[in-house]
Amino acid sequence: MHLALPSRKSSNPPPYATRSTRFPLLRRSRVQAIIIFACAVGVVLFFVSSLFGGSERIPSGTPPVVIVTVVDEDNYNKEYIENIKENRIEYAKKHGYTTFFPTVKDYELNGSPPTWAKVPAVRHALTKFYYSEYIWYLDQNSLIMNPDLTIENHIMDPKRVESLMIKDQPIVPPDSVIKTWGGLKGDQVQLVLSQDKEGLSQGSFIVRRGDWSKFFLDTWFDPLYRSYNFQKADTHALEHIVQWHPTILSKLMLIPQRIMNAYTKEQSAGETGTYKDGDFVIRFAGCEGSTRDCVKEAEPFSKQWKTVFRARR
């Protein structure tokens, strides 16, 4: 039985109908429009996030201020140290701040005077409390006396700090040729401190978190400066770098001494730096000298701060 063979295909098949390109072109134009729109939205979001603080988010509960005090447990009795800590802790609780109490022995100073310990302590705090906006170093031999004043409103608010700024002031009074800048804006300030009669007083100072503060502290703590035989060690080293490093001078602001660094002794305070009731801080500057006693000088003010704090809870 023979089956019929399929017919042979023509070598000239009929042409196929041309496929319409309308819809692919339409799809391509839509894709391009979506991509352009997405890019535009991304650019807008980038600028908005930059305008309102960047992409970094501050974790909830972050203390805005860290109070750093280096304690010397070898040369001061336990009761005195506990009084100092309690003073900072009570104040910090009232305003949502936190405290940091390293000891002199926590840092390798390589034979330098123990007063140098403040520098790595503040640098340590910048790392430990990465998101806190301000680090306030307050010397051990001092007390916070007015619990109602805050770092933000009393000092660091841009308009407030501009109103406090001492312009064209010799860094080392009375006749240093290097002077503070006059055009520094409040939101540009990275370092705030005051002067006494002799020069910069670094027993109470504030730094703002960021790369500039790290650079400043690393420069201050440079082994070269610690190896110099400065008469006042870290104090004279600070005056040296401020006068010879424009990068540091340009972000520094001097404010009146009584704002955060009033002294008990008139002879060592600046022109208007002697403590008066209601001032923020009292410091017993130089009390560690052989003719003075820090514990005795602090005793009446210790009773006073406790009375004031309890009355204002």
pLDDT digits (tens, 9 = 90+) for 212-236: 999 999 999 999 999 888 888 999 9
58 vs 94, more confident: 94
**Once rounded to an integer, what is the mean pLDDT over residues 133-137?**
98
Phi, psi angle pair for 59, to nearest 5°: -60, 145
43-88 pLDDT, tens digit each: 555 554 544 444 468 899 999 999 999 999 999 999 999 999 999 9
Q: Are 272 and 182 in contact (CB under 8 A)?
A: no
Which residue is associated with the tokens 């009146």?
256
At residue 220, the pLDDT reads 97
What's the rounded Cα separation, in Å, for the pair 193 and 106? Answer: 25
What was the pLDDT predicted at 255?
A: 97
What tokens were used for 119? 């520098």
Q: Does the pLDDT at position 9 exceed 90?
A: no
How many other C-beta atoms are found inside a 10 Å radius of the C-beta of residue 228?
A: 13
| Count of CA atoms in the C-beta half-sphere (13 A) of 165 | 27
Lowest mean pLDDT among 90-104, 140-154, 281-295: 281-295
**How many CB atoms sit inside 10 A of residue 123's CB?**
21
What average pLDDT does this structure show over 165-179? 91
Q: In this predicted structure, what is the pLDDT of residue 68?
A: 98
With pLDDT > 90 as the criterion, what percentage of the chain qualifies?
A: 70
Q: Which pTM value belongs to this model?
A: 0.82
Would the pLDDT of 111 be above 60?
yes
pLDDT at 4: 58
Distance (Å, rounded) from C-alpha 236 to C-alpha 116?
A: 11
Q: What pLDDT, on the 0 to 100 scale, is given for residue 163?
A: 96
Average confidence score pLDDT of the chain: 88
> Which structure tokens are listed for 94?
């009232």
**Tens digits of per-residue pLDDT, 179-190?**
998 889 999 999
Instruction: Read off the DSSP letter of residue 155.
Output: I
Mean pLDDT of 16-27: 52
Q: State residue 19's pLDDT score.
A: 52
pLDDT interval class at 157 (50, 70, 90): very high
Rounded Cα distance, 254 and 174, in Å: 15
What average pLDDT does range 2-26 have in this prediction? 54
The phi and psi torsions of 291 (rounded to 5 degrees) equal -100, 5
Residues 6 or more apart from 305 whose CB is under 8 A from it? 87, 143, 144, 145
DSSP assignment of 157-186 equals SHHHHHHH--TT-BSSTTT-S-B--S---G
How many degrees, rounded to 5, is the angle at CA 63 between CA 58 and CA 66? 125
Long-range contacts of 289-295, Cβ-Cβ distance < 8 Å, separation of 24 or more = 294/76, 294/80, 294/141, 295/76, 295/77, 295/80
User: Distance between CA atoms of 60 and 198, rounded to whole angstroms?
Assistant: 43
Token pair 């609780």: residue: 93
The predicted pLDDT at position 168 comes to: 93
